[in-house]
Structure 1
C-alpha cells in the first residue's frame, strides 16, 4: 500500500513539474542554427530572490529530461537534494553530428561535435547564468553516445561541471584510459556516476565493465565515484534505476542526518554534537558552492545527541542557532526551553515554552507539544 501511495505522489509531482516547463529557442552562432531547450525551474522559484540553484544540463533532452525533472522534484521535496534548475537540450534531429568525434584524435569532430561542445560551454551555460539564478555547482547527464560526450568537459583546464552522470556510455576509443588518468589527478572535488545493466547492449557493457575496473583503482580523495550494475534491466530501463542512485551519490553530504549517520558519525564524533553540525554545513558549502539553511531534522538529531552526551554547551549553541535560523517559529522557543531545562533553570525554560505558543508551528513542534512541556514543568514545581 505504501509503495502505491509513493508512486501516486511521484506521478503527481512529475505532472506538476512538467506543467511548469519553459520552452525556449537559443540562436547559436557556434552551431549556425537555433537550438530548442527545455527549462524546469524549482518550486517557489523567485527571480528577484537571492537563492542560487545548482544547474543540471541534460543531453538527449528529448527523452531524458522528463525523468530527470521528476526525480529532482521528488528528491528536493524531501530535502535529499537542493532545489535545482534543470535544462534539457533537444538533439533528436542533430544527435549524430552533435556527439561526433574525430577518427584520428577521438575528441569532438569539426563536423558538429566541436561546435556542439562549444555551444554548451560558450552559449548555453552563459545564457542560463544570465537569465536565471544559478550557482557554480553544475551537473551534466547523458545516455549512450551523450554519456560518452559529457566526458570531454573533464579535459578542459577548468571543467565546466562538478558532477557527471553517465548512463551506459558508448565509449570512444582511448576514453577509458584518458579519463582514468585525468580523474586520478583532478584537484577539484568531482562526482562521477557510471551505470550499466545485465541486459545492456553487449559490446557497451563489456567496455563499461572494463572502464569501471580502471576507475575503481583510482586513489584520489577528490574523486567521488559510484558504479551500478543493475539486474533485470536493459539499455533503456537502467536509466530509471540509475537516476535516484546518482542523486543520492552526488548529494549524499547534502541529505539530512539519518539514523545511520546519527549512530555512526554524530555520536562517534570526537568533538561536540554541535561542532559536528557546523562541520557538516561548512562541508556542504565547500563541496557544493552554496549555503544550506539548517533543517529542523538536523536540529533534532543534534538535540538528541547533546542530551545523550549531557553536553550543555552544545545545547546552548544549538538553541542560539535555532533562534537565529527560525526566529518566528516554535522551533526557537522549544530549543531555548530545552537548553534551560538541561541547565536546570526551569523558570526560563517555562518562559520560553510559553512564548512559543504565540509563534508558528513547525513540522515537528506543535502547540500541544509546548503545552505538554509547560504542564510537565508546572507539575514538577
Structure 2
C-alpha cells in the first residue's frame, strides 16, 4: 500500500494564486520515495466539477517551474485552459530512470519501472486526488525527452501531447516514431525543438528526426518543429515551452482577428453556427467543455451585424441570457437583438435592466447608458 505524505503547501501570491504543492511519493514500482511538485490552477476548488488538462513534466528539478509559470500565464489570459502541472524530480535518479536496453533500445530494469511508475501509479493517484481530464501532456528535455517517446508505443497511448525539448534520441527511435505516428487514430500533438547552438550530436539527429516526420500525412497527428535561432541546449527550453503550449491549445484560443475574417464572417451557416461548432470541437478535441467567453460573443455579434444576420443575433441573445444571467452581457446583447429588430421598447427595457447587473470586461454602465440615450433620442 503506497503511502502519500504531504510536506508543505505553498500559496503563490494571495489565495487567488496558483497553489504549488511539494510532496514526497512512496512508489511501489520504484521501491523508493520520489519528490513531486504539483501546481493547481488559480482558485482551484475540489468541489467544483470542472476538469483540467494534466501536464506531466520529467526533469521536474528544473523544468517544472518554467512549465508551471507558462501554463499559469497563458491560462490567465484565456490562451489555454487552466491545468494541473506535475513535475517529477530526477536529480538523483535520472540515469537509472531513463535507462534503456542497449540492444533493443526500449526501457529496461529501472527504466521500465520508471515507465510503469508514471502510467500505473502517478497518473492514477493524481486522478484520484484532483479534477483532471483525460487530456494529458508529457514533456521532457534531452534524455527525458527521448524517454517520453516510449508512451507512443502503447496500444492506447496515455498522453495526447508530447513536448520534446532537444531530445537525446535513442538509436532507431526516428523510424519507430515515424511508423507509430503514421498509424495513430487519436488526435495527437507531437512537438520537437532544437536550436542553432544546440549540442552538435543531438542537433544532427533531431534534424534527421524532423526530416522524416515532416513528411507525415496522418491528419490525426499535429506535428510542430522549431529550430530556434541564437539559442542553445538550455535557452531553447524557455522558447519552446510557450510555443508548444500555444500550438497544442490553438483551437482553444479566443477568436482573433484572422479567425474572425477567415472563418466567422464567411461561415456558410452563419456566425452563430460557427460559434457552436467551435465550442463543440473544443469539447470533442480536448475532452472537456469550455465556457463561452465574452470575446467570442463580441466577435459573433459583430459578424451578425455586418452580415445582417438576425437569426444569429437572436440565438446569440439567448445564449447570453443563459450563460451570463447576472451580467450586463445578457442585457446588452438581448437589447442589441431587439434594437436590430426595431423593437425599441423591448430594447430599451433590456438596456435599462442591465444597469442593475454586474459589469463585464467589455460592457459597463456607460455603454448601456449610451444605448439608452440613443433610443430615447429616436423617440
TM-score range, shorter chain: over 0.9
Summarize deviations over 1:273-310 as a string: whole Å, max 9, x none: 00000000000001100000000000000000000100
Give a deviation string over 1:241-280, Cα, whole Å, max 9, x none: 1111101100000000011111111112111100000000
Q: TM-score, normalised by structure 2?
A: 0.95
SS of corresponding position for 1:21: strand
What corresponds to 2:365 in structure 1?
367
- Which residue of the partner structure matches residue 6 of structure 1? none
Secondary structure of 2:163 counterpart: strand
Which residues in structure 2 correspond to 1:143-222 (within 5 Å)? 143-222=141-220
Deviation at 1:105? 1.1
- Alignment counterpart, residue 240 of structure 2, candidates 226, 239, 242: 242
Partner of 1:4: none
SS of 1:357's equivalent? helix
Describe the SS at the equivalent of 1:264. helix
**For the residues of structure 2 that align with 1:33 and 1:147, how far apart are their CA atoms?**
23
Q: CA deviation at 1:20?
A: 3.2
1:110-162: per-residue Cα shift (whole Å, max 9, x none)? 2x100000000000000100011111100001000000000100100110100
Aligned to 2:6: none
Closer, same or farther: CA 18–273 of 1 in aligned 2, 3 Å: closer
CA change 1:276–1:212 in 2 (3 A) is same
Deviation of 1:18 (Å): 9.1
**Are 1:266 and 2:257 matched, yes or no?**
no
Q: Is the partner of 1:196 in helix, strand or coil?
A: strand
Q: What does residue 321 of structure 1 align with?
A: 319
Tell me by how many angstroms 1:14 deviates.
7.9
Residue 116, structure 1, aligned to residue 85, structure 2: no
Look up the match of 1:92. 91
| C-alpha distance 349-250 of structure 1, shift in aligned 2 (>3 A) | same
Runs of 4+ in structure 1 deviating by more than 2 angstroms, as ranges, are 13-20
Change (3 A) 1:341 1:361: same
**Could you tell me which residue of structure 2 aligns to residue 52 of structure 1?**
51
Which residue matches 2:21?
22
CA-CA distance at 1:24 after TM superposition: 1.1
**Secondary structure in structure 1 of the residue aligned to 2:356:** coil
Residues of 2 paired with 1:39 and 1:191: CA distance? 23
CA distance in 2, matches of 1:264, 1:123: 45
Q: CA deviation at 1:19?
A: 7.8
TM-score (norm 1): 0.95
Determine helix, strand or coil for the equivalent of 1:100. Answer: coil
- 1:32 matches 2:31: yes
Q: CA RMSD in A?
A: 1.3
Structure 1 stretches of 5 or more lacking a match?
Answer: 1-12
SS of residue paired to 2:184: coil
Q: How many residues get paired?
A: 368
Distance in 2, matches of 1:335 and 1:150, equals 47
1:52 is displaced (CA, Å) by 0.7
CA distance in 2, matches of 1:80, 1:19: 16
